[in-house]
């Protein structure tokens, strides 16, 4: 690996992790395009390295979210169980689904996430004030202090439906090498009526757990390139710490706009690769 490539991967991972961690999505969704387009590595290798970066992001930003009271641990345990089963399905599909289809799925995920960023949050904010008295809501309730000093109370709803969506998120996480926060956060915001910061922080904890098992499988299979992982992990660690600070202090709308633009931009080369145009795809 050249010094230039090391620097590019480091800076790219840092920026991706900062943006991703600020919304609880880690940097995996940016690392795969970075490796396939810039480093020109095969898709399975990019997925393996991306999973390691997801673990780094989750571990680095998790303590900050826990200290701020944003992570709902009870909800994370329940939803992660469903996510883990989905990850097993995704691992079983690796090598079975052709690369163009994987790129196509990735592009769809990016596009849907961009749309959800601009529309789904409104529904989630309205749901913040919607509280009930069911045992389910009481079990997964919580409070946190927002950036303006106000105390926000919330209670999760439709947890079984959310668990079903987490199963699908886990499948895509293992199959595409993304943190699956692009699916978990919209599910928790829109379907489960959680505040954006709680969704992001809880998703951040869950994606690290999901990625651990998938990354271990890639390591055993020999598809994990440790040389490429070094600059990506270093950049992801620093970027995720920065992103955690942004999430705790920021209001949110401006971050969503920036993230939506990035998602749309990334969807273009992934769509091109899905149709065999070969935008930087390795052999």
- Cβ–Cβ < 8 Å for 42, 222: no
Would you state the pLDDT for residue 280?
Answer: 46
**What is the average pLDDT score of the chain?**
78
Confidence bin at 283 (pLDDT 50/70/90): very low
Give the per-residue pLDDT at 130.
44
Higher pLDDT, 189 or 198: 198
pLDDT band for position 7 (cuts 50, 70, 90):
very high
Phi, psi of 129 (to 5 degrees): -90, -5
Residue 248's pLDDT is 73
Q: Tell me: the pLDDT tens digits for 257-281? A: 776 787 788 788 778 878 877 654 4
End-to-end CA distance of the chain: 17
Is the predicted pLDDT of residue 252 greater than 70, yes or no?
no
Q: Write down the domain spans for the chain.
A: 3-274
Place of tokens 């970066």: 53
Instruction: Tell me the sheet residues that pair with 154.
Output: 142
Check whether 11 has a pLDDT greater than 90.
Answer: yes
DSSP characters over 20-85? HHHTT--SHHHHHHIIIIII---HHHHHHHHHHHHHHHHHHHHHHHHHTT---HHHHHHHHHHHHH
pLDDT at residue 117 in the model = 66
- Counting DSSP H helices and E strands in the chain, the numbers are 11, 2
Position 94 pLDDT exceeds 80: no
Q: What is the largest CA-CA distance in the chain?
A: 59
For residue 126, pLDDT beyond 70: no
Of 16, 139, 128, residue with least CA distance to 77: 139
Running DSSP on this structure, what letter comes out for residue 147? Answer: T
Task: Summarize the confidence of residues 118-131 as an average pLDDT.
Answer: 47
Poorest-confidence range of 122-131, 147-156, 177-186?
122-131
Name which residue leads in pLDDT, 171 or 134: 171
| pLDDT of 58 over the 70 cut | yes
For the stretch 139-153, pLDDT in tens is 777 888 776 778 888
For residue 253, name the pLDDT band (cuts at 50, 70, 90): low
- Name the band, by pLDDT with cuts 50, 70 and 90, for residue 122: very low
Q: What is the mean pLDDT of residues 116-129?
A: 51
C-alpha to C-alpha distance for 91 and 173, rounded to whole angstroms: 9
């Amino acid at each position: 690996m050249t010094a230039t490539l090391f620097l590019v991967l480091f800076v790219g991972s840092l920026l991706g992790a900062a943006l991703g961690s600020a919304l609880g999505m880690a940097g995996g969704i940016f690392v795969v395009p970075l490796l396939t387009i810039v480093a020109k590595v095969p898709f399975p290798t990019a997925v393996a390295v991306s999973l390691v970066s997801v673990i780094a992001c989750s571990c680095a930003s998790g303590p900050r979210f826990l200290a701020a009271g944003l992570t709902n641990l009870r909800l994370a345990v329940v939803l992660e169980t469903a996510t883990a089963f989905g990850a097993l399905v995704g691992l079983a599909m690796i090598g079975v689904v052709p690369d163009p289809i994987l790129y196509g799925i990735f592009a769809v995920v990016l596009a849907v996430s961009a749309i959800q960023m601009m529309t789904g949050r409104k529904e989630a904010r309205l749901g913040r004030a919607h509280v009930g008295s069911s045992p389910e809501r009481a079990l997964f309730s919580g409070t946190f202090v927002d950036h303006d000093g106000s105390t926000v109370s919330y209670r999760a709803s439709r947890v079984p439906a959310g668990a079903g969506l987490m199963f699908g998120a886990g499948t895509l996480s293992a199959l595409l090498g993304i943190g699956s926060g692009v699916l978990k956060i919209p599910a928790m915001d829109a379907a489960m009526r959680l505040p954006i910061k709680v969704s992001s922080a809880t998703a951040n904890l869950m994606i690290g757990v999901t990625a651990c098992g998938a990354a271990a499988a890639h390591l055993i299979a020999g598809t994990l390139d440790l040389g490429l992982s070094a600059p990506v992990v270093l950049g992801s660690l620093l970027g995720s710490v920065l992103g955690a600070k942004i999430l705790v202090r920021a209001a949110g709308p401006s971050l969503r706009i920036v993230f939506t633009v990035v998602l749309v931009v990334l969807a273009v080369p992934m769509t091109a690769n899905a149709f065999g145009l070969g935008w930087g795809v390795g052999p």
